[in-house]
Amino acid sequence: SAATSDTIYMHFNTIIPTLIAEVASVSKVDDNNEEKEREEATRRCSRAVCHNVDTAGVNLLISEVASKCTSDKESVRKEACWFLQIVIEERATRADFYEQVPIIIRELLQRLNDSSQDVLKSTNLALTALSKFVPAEELVAHIGFIRNLIASMVSDARYRKGGVGDGEFLLPGLNQPKGE
């Protein structure tokens, strides 16, 4: 953090999309060692950014990552959820992201209705990190918000064009085999 100064967060609008896009592009490659090394290096860099950002930049960090959760590209949505997970893990000891927990919850819960299994898995890992690193007392304060958000998602799934109507609706992210 000494090398980047306390104002690196002023550049998150270019840094974060680049990191997410880079991880999304190389995570698709299977057996190329050079690409795997590049992916690992990018993931380490992403963790370092999340860990070393000044407290004043945490809100900008989360906002920038959250904006990528709704991407049209499945790989970007998956990596944005992973990025939220590492924000939670890397900032856990500072607990300076609690004001943004509703943003994190909103983005992750909305991804529970994603059509991609990879996005659902990444979302579940991020939600696991949230429940592990954020105290229950903090999470309980958001129960009403969570309930309303899920009710809205179910309503949307029922009544949008091509929705299930009054039929049974199972939220894909909560119906994973073995909870994965």
Q: What is the tens place of the pLDDT at every residue in 50-108?
A: 998 988 899 999 999 999 999 999 999 999 999 999 999 999 998 999 999 999 999 99
Q: CB under 8 Å, gap of 24 or more: what pairs does 60-66 form?
A: 60/9, 60/10, 60/12, 61/9, 61/12, 61/16, 61/87, 62/87, 62/97, 62/100, 62/103, 62/104, 63/100, 63/103, 64/12, 64/13, 64/16, 64/17, 65/16, 65/20, 66/103, 66/104, 66/106, 66/107
What is the pTM assigned to this prediction?
0.89
Q: What is the tens place of the pLDDT at every residue in 108-162?
A: 999 999 999 999 999 999 999 999 999 999 999 999 999 999 999 888 887 777 6
